Amino acid sequence: MAADNQANWAARRRIAAGWAHHLWHDKAGLFGLAIVVLLIVVAAAAPLLAPYDPAAQALRDRLLPPAWLAGGQLAHLLGTDQLGRDVLSRLIFGSRVSLVVGAGVVLLAGAFGTALGMLAGYCGGRVDDFVMRWVDTQVAFPGLLLALVILVVVGANVPSLIIVLSLNGWMVYARMARGSVLGLRQLPYVEAAQMIGCRGRRVIFRHILPNLTSPLLTLSILEFARIILAEAALSFLGMGVQPPGSSWGLDVAIGKDYMFRAWWLVTFPGAAIALTVLGVNLLASWLRVVTDPREREKQFARRMARKRHAEPVPAAAASVEARP
Amino acid sequence: MSRIARMALCALLWSGVTAAAGAQEITVGLGSEPTTLDPQAQEDGSERAVNDNIYETLMVRTADGSLAPGLAAAVPTAVDATTWLVKLRPGIKFHDGSAFNADTVAFSINRIINPKFKSAQLSFFNTIANASKVDDLTVKIITKGPDPLVPVRLYWMKMVPEAYAASDKFAAAPIGTGPYKFVAWNRGSNITIAANPDYWGAKPQIQKATYRFVPESGTLLAGLMAGELDLVPNLLPEFIGQVPKSAHIQSVLHPVLILNADGGITKDPRVRQALNYAIDKEALTKALFEGYGKIDQGQLLSSDDFGFDKTTTAYPYDPAKAKKLLAEAGAANGTLQIVGTSGRWLKDRETVEAVAAFWEQAGLHVDLKILEWNEYLKRLWDRQSRPDAIYVASKDPLLDPDRPFSTYYQAGGMGASNTDPKLAELVTKARTEINNEERAKLYRESIRIAHDQAYLAWLLTYEDLYGLSQRLTFSPRPDGKMLVSTMSVAK
**Is position A11 within any domain?**
no
Given an 8 Å threshold on Cβ–Cβ distance, is B369 in contact with A238? yes
Number of Cβ within a 10 Å radius of residue B275? 29
Number of domains in chain B: 3
Q: Decide if A182 touches B, using CB distance below 8 A.
A: no
In a domain, A6, yes or no: no
Specify whether B453 is located in the same domain as B436: yes
Considering CB atoms only, which of A57, A83, A242 is closest to B370?
A: A242
Contact across the interface for B288 and A244, Cβ inside 8 Å:
no
Identity of the residue numbered B486? T
Mean pLDDT for the stretch of residues B349-369: 93
Specify the higher pLDDT residue, B465 or A3.
Answer: B465
Q: Which of B491, B20, B31 is nearest to B232 (CA)?
A: B31
Sign of CA dihedral B382, B387, B392, B398: positive
Regarding whether B87 and B187 lie in a shared domain, the answer is no
Classify residue B172: in a domain, yes or no: no
Domain count, chain A: 1
Same domain, B36 and B94: no
**Domain containing residue A73:** 18-306
Whether A86 contacts A80, CB under 8 Å: yes
Mean pLDDT (chain B, rounded): 90
Q: Is A2 a domain residue?
A: no
ipTM of the complex: 0.74
Domain stop point among B163, B191, B212: B163
- Are the Cβ atoms of B283 and A239 closer than 8 angstroms? no
Indicate whether B415 and B312 sit together in one domain: yes
Nearest-CA neighbor of B174 among B337, B40, B334, B322? B40
Amino acid in position B287: A
For residue B84, what are the contacts with CB-CB under 8 A and spacing of at least 6?
Answer: B76, B77, B78, B140, B141, B143, B150
CATH code for the domain of B379:
3.10.105.10
Query: Is A163 contained in some domain?
Result: yes
Count other Cβ atoms within 10 Å, centred on residue B201. Answer: 14
Is residue B1's pLDDT more than 50?
no
A82 contacts B375? CB cut-off 8 A: no
A279 belongs to a structural domain:
yes
Is B315 part of any domain?
yes
Residues B234 and B125 in one domain: no
Q: Does B398 contact chain A (CB < 8 Å)?
A: no
Domain assignment of residue B168, yes or no: no
In a domain, A219, yes or no: yes
Q: pLDDT digit string (tens) for B230-279?
A: 999 988 888 888 899 999 998 888 999 999 999 899 999 999 999 999 99
Per residue in B54-78, pLDDT tens?
Answer: 999 999 999 888 899 999 999 999 9
In sequence order, what are the residues at sequence separation of 6 or more whose Cβ sits closer than 8 angstroms to the Cβ of residue B195?
B179, B180, B181, B203, B204, B206, B207, B208
pLDDT at residue B7 above 60? no
Q: Which residues partner with B209 through β-bridges? A: B26, B193
B258 lies in a domain?
A: yes
Q: What is the DSSP letter of B93?
A: B
More confident position, B225 or A316 = B225
User: Going by C-beta distance under 8 Å and a sequence separation of 6 or more, which residues neighbour residue B169?
Assistant: none
Same domain as B266, residue B329: yes
Contact criterion met (CB < 8 Å) for B368 and A62: no
Same domain, B222 and B91: no
Reported as a pLDDT band with limits 50, 70 and 90, residue B20 is very low
Contacts of A236 in chain B (CB under 8 A): 342-343
Q: Which of residues 170-229 of B touch A (CB under 8 A)?
A: 217-218, 221-222
User: Omega before A244 cis (within 30°)?
Assistant: yes
- Containing A102, the helix (H) or strand (E) segment is helix A87-123
**CATH label of the domain that carries residue B239:** 3.40.190.10
User: Which of A60, A83, A237 lies at the smallest CB-CB distance from B372?
Assistant: A237
Mean pLDDT by runs of 10 across the 324 residues of chain A is 71 80 82 92 91 88 89 88 92 90 93 94 91 92 80 82 90 93 88 88 87 86 83 78 84 86 91 88 82 75 83 51 42
Nearest to B287 among A59, A237, A238 (CB): A59
Residues B343, A237: C-beta atoms closer than 8 Å: yes
- Asked if the structure places residue B169 within a domain, the reply is no
CATH for A151: 1.10.3720.10
For residue B186, pLDDT over 60 is answered with yes
| Chain A CA closest to residue B338 | A243
Q: Concatenate the DSSP letters of all residues of A10-23 into one string.
A: HHHHHHHHHHHHHH
Whether residue B399 is found in the same domain as residue B268 = yes
Q: Which of residues 211-270 of A touch B (CB under 8 A)?
A: 236-239, 242-244, 254, 256-263
Do B64 and B129 share a structural domain? Answer: yes
Query: Of chain B residues 12-71, which have a CB less than 8 A from chain A?
Result: none
Q: Strand, helix or coil at B299? A: coil
Closest CA to B339 of A242, A94, A248, A58: A242
Kindly report, residue by residue over B429-445, the tens digit of the pLDDT: 998 888 889 999 999 99
B285 and B379 share a domain? yes
Distance CA A225, CA A284 (A): 13
* A238 within a domain of the structure (yes/no): yes
User: Is A5 inside a domain boundary?
Assistant: no
- Beta carbons of A59 and B356 less than 8 Å apart: no
Asked if A59 reaches chain B (Cβ–Cβ under 8 Å), the answer is yes
Contact present, B486 and B474 (Cβ < 8 Å): yes
Looking at the complex, does the CB of residue B284 fall below 8 Å from at least one CB of chain A?
Answer: yes
- B371 and B268 belong to one structural domain: yes
- Res A189: pLDDT: 87
What range defines the domain where residue B385 resides? 253-463
CB contact under 8 A, B370 and A83: no
Chain B residue at shortest CA distance from A149: B375
> Does residue A87 contact residue A52 with C-beta atoms inside 8 Å?
no
Decide if B444 is inside a domain. Answer: yes
Chain B closest CA to A35's CA: distance in Å?
28
User: pTM for the whole thing?
Assistant: 0.81
Test mutation, B239, B372, B382, chain A, max A CBs within 10 A: B372
> Is A243's CB within 8 Å of B374's CB?
no
